[in-house]
Chain A
Amino acid sequence: MTETTPSTSARPRAGSEQPLVRALNVMKSFHGNEVLKGIDLEVHRGEVVCLLGPSGSGKTTFLRCINQLESIDGGRIWVDGDLVGYRAEGEHLHHLTDKQVAAQRRNIGMVFQRFNLFPHKTAIENVMEAPVQVKGVDKKAARQHAEELLAQVGLADKAAAYPGALSGGQQQRVAIARALAMDPKLMLFDEPTSALDPELVGEVLRVMRDLASAGMTMIVVTHEMGFAREVADHVVFMDAGVVCEQGAPKDVIGNPQQDRTRSFLRRMRSEHDEARADAAGT
């Protein structure tokens, strides 16, 4: 493993550097239904990659494959140079044990569409849980770190609140703090704002924007075109289990080459306008 520090000012892609995430020909099917048909992707340190595409295109499945919430049927994924889920021994691949899988996941933070906070624990307990239970961090130190993280997402005053007493946007920000508590090298966001009321989307995106400008490597499945355009270094448009088009956001979103990308973006734009008209009307 080569030690590299992501530069925080700009996030240039050093060409020689090994990518943090490398996916090669990733395939996955559910009960004979092919969801991923050979995905290739590289994510470099400090880069923000947005996965766009219609629902059912396989973006969420691909994201879940990276931290092994789904197992892949074909292809390979490497995170930080380590093969995900398997150990190569001579000619053969061997499944990793549950313990080894858990160890690989520790470096990857994940934020879910439905937040999935632990409802029986307060906000700060949610953030402390993994450092204390998984890493064996001293409780006092974990609490202090958790307080800092909650402050970072703007929820210092909600430390003692149970998730049930928080709004969706607040819950999602706690969920981001919880994932950050493990000091991950990579953050995965699975439609982090899709379950939120429109007026709560902004506060979550703001936290994600801060995280991106602090140099965190992020893969974000999203329908927020504005966010993708402004924050992403690289945009990947997926459809029907394949990567249709990828590149800089100003090219893919601003000037799409593929028909499928164009029609998707047109649909998104009209929905967006409708939603805005609705909001204005009520």
Chain B
Amino acid sequence: MTVTHVTDQSTTERPGLIDARPVRHPWRWVAVAVILVMIAMIISSFLTNDRWDFSLAGQIMIQQPVIDGLLKGTILGTVGSMVIGVVLGIVIAVMRISSNPVLRGVSFVYTWFFRAIPRYVLLVIIGSGIGYLYNTLDIGVPFGQQIASLLGLSSDLTIGSLNVNGITGSIVGGIIGLGLSEAAYMAEIARSGILSVDPGQREAAQALGMSNGKLMRRIVLPQAMRVIVPPTGNETIAMVKDTSLLIAIPVIAELNYQTGAIANRIFKIMPGLVASTAWYLIICSILMVGQFYLERYFGRGFGQQRPKTRRFARPAGAGGA
């Protein structure tokens, strides 16, 4: 028997620490070798194929119009549309689980509509269509014009009006469009998060006399965030890339358009694409770091307890009594 093999001396001594040989994995080493060769080939092509022209790509990255597009289009667009998306998404999710059928229905139709329509199409509609349909946005009493003509008033009950084209044709229109679309996805994410919270939590809060709003804000949503944050990080990263659709508005102060414009002007297409790719990689890397800290914050109280001192106080292999 294999057990007696190691201890066949069958002394009275009790077996001590185990120092066993690891299992060999020869095919893993083959795979590693193949992959290393492929990586070497790719790096070598970067160095030898001067059409990549990384130094030119680097220069394109730091041109003023590119930086402006990055800040005012890509980053501002991402932040703005994600803020709209998250806030509106949570509102729609809460409506969706309401007991009022009208609220439930509206929330369902919203999600249905904005999930079905492609973002590019939505941005074209906002950029070109809305301004054509509604020249000005009047702020006043609902149906003010109809009420005024019915009552024979001279005023049409309008307090002020906005130039719609000025809004929808700008980055604001783009942020609204991307935000409305994002809210539909965020609503589903928030709903799954809210449903993931144990119903006992709501009952405990109710039993303490908390109002519905407070128990949502203080008890349910903070716990739902644990489930909501990881897919929201995904959505944010997707949104960084979708800001390149702002051209459909059209908004040209945006990273991908600006690198492309420079590259076209000097007939160097590839370095322009490398420049925008590099920027997208940098932004997404930063976002991933942020997501890590958010997840850790909202995961407090769950899973392994990790007080800071314990990492140092407990060397590997020790512990257990």
**Chain A residues packing against B (C-beta within 8 Å):** 67, 69, 98-99, 102-103, 105-106, 108-110, 112, 114, 116-122, 129-130, 133-134, 162-165, 175, 178-179, 182
Q: Which of A69, A98, A112, A118 contacts B211 (CB 8 A)?
A: A98
**Most chain A CB neighbours (cut-off 10 Å) among B209, B222, B303:** B209
Interchain Cβ contacts within 8 Å, total number: 77
Q: Could you tell me which B residues sit within 8 Å of A by CB distance?
A: 198, 200-201, 203-212, 214, 218-219, 222-223, 226, 298, 300-303, 305
Contacts of A112 in B (CB 8 A): 200, 203-204, 207
Report if A98-B302 is in contact (Cβ < 8 Å); known contacts: A105-B207, A120-B223: no
Chain A's closest residue to B214 (CB) is: A133
Besides the known contacts A98-B212, A105-B208, 15 further A-B residue pairs in the complex with CB atoms under 8 A apart? A69-B203, A98-B211, A105-B206, A106-B209, A110-B204, A112-B203, A120-B222, A120-B298, A120-B300, A120-B302, A133-B214, A134-B210, A163-B301, A178-B208, A179-B208
CA distance in complex: A163, B206 (Å): 19
Please determine whether A116 and B211 come into contact, CB atoms closer than 8 angstroms.
no
Verify A129–B209 contact, CB threshold 8 A: no
Known contacts A121-B301, A133-B218; is-contact A116 B223 (Cβ 8 Å): no
Known: A69-B203, A112-B200. A133 touches B210 (CB 8 A): yes
Q: Given A162-B300, A162-B305, is A116 in contact with B210 using a C-beta cutoff of 8 Å?
A: no
Contact B211 A99 (CB under 8 A): yes
Cβ contacts A to B, 19 pairs, < 8 Å? A69-B207, A98-B211, A103-B209, A105-B206, A105-B207, A108-B207, A110-B204, A112-B200, A112-B204, A112-B207, A116-B201, A117-B204, A118-B223, A120-B298, A120-B302, A122-B301, A130-B210, A163-B301, A165-B305
Query: How long is the Cα–Cα vector from A134 to B219 in the complex, in angstroms?
Result: 13
CA distance in complex: A129, B205 (Å)? 9
What distance in Å separates the Cβ of A50 from its nearest Cβ neighbour in chain B? Answer: 20
Give bound CA distance, A108 to B203, whole Å. 13
Q: Which residue of A lies closest to B204 (CB)?
A: A116
- Cβ–Cβ contact B203 & A134, under 8 A: no
- Contact in complex: B206, A69 (CB < 8 Å): yes
Q: How far is the CA of A258 from the CA of B198 in the complex (A)?
A: 39
Choice from A67, A105, A116, A182 contacting B198 with Cβ under 8 Å: A116
Given contacts A116-B200, A118-B204, contact A134 B209 (CB under 8 A): yes
A98 (CB) vs chain B CBs: closest residue: B212
CB distance from A190 to the nearest CB of B (A): 10
Closest B residue to A160 using CB positions: B307
Q: Within the complex, what minimum Cβ distance (angstroms) separates B234 from chain A? A: 22
A125 and chain B: residue at smallest CB distance: B301
Q: A130-B209, A134-B209, A182-B209 are in contact. Are A164 and B200 (CB under 8 A)?
A: no
Q: Which of B201, B207, B210, B219 contacts A110 (CB 8 A)?
A: B207
Inter-chain contact B203/A164, CB cutoff 8 Å: no
Closest to B301 in A: A162
Residues of A within 8 A of B201 (CB): 116, 118
Q: Do the beta carbons of A164 and B218 come within 8 Å of each other?
A: no
CB B306 to nearest CB in A, in angstroms, measures 11
Contact across chains for A129 and B200 when beta carbons are under 8 A apart: no
A164, B301: Cβ atoms closer than 8 Å: yes
A72 to chain B, nearest CB (A): 16
